[in-house]
Amino acid sequence: MRVLNQQILDDTLTGSAEVFSAPTTFDLLGGVEKLVLHVRAARASSSQPTLTVKLYHSNDGQDWQTKTTFSTIALSTTAETAGMLTDPGTTPSGAFVRVGAAMTNSPASSDTVDVKITACGRAEQAR
């Protein structure tokens, strides 16, 4: 059963700096058992741009541990790149979850990419 469908990130990434979903989403993301992220990236300015997306989890909202590092996404410099990333929930999450995104493949500090991530969260369905 779907319990969440919300855009959680809409930002321009610069260089290799990691950008995170807003703190208002941490509790929402931590309340689902399975998570699917729809990632859309546009206007990448790097010569060979790639994007890495990670899930972090925490029980106190301050000390974050990496839960999942998704496969690196190759980005286009001429068109929008879209993909779906799935955390099947086989490893339980802490109380809070956040999503981080960063350009990888040694971007210059002036390289940028526009990134939007929408999360769909699901709970186990009763049988």
- pLDDT per position as a tens digit, 3-12: 999 999 999 9
- pLDDT, residue 82, reads 96
What SS3 state is found at 55? strand
% of the chain residues with pLDDT over 70: 98
All residues at 6 or more sequence positions from 78 whose CB lies less than 8 Å from its CB, including other chains:
none
In the chain, beta strands by DSSP E: 2-14, 19-20, 34-42, 50-58, 65-69, 73-74, 81-87, 96-104, 112-122
**For each of the chain's 127 residues, which pLDDT tens digit applies?**
999 999 999 999 999 999 999 999 999 999 999 999 999 999 999 888 999 999 999 999 999 999 999 989 999 999 999 999 999 888 999 999 999 999 998 888 999 999 999 999 998 765 5
CATH topology for 2-122 is Jelly Rolls (2.60.120)
Cβ atoms of 115 and 41 closer than 8 Å: yes
| pTM score | 0.93
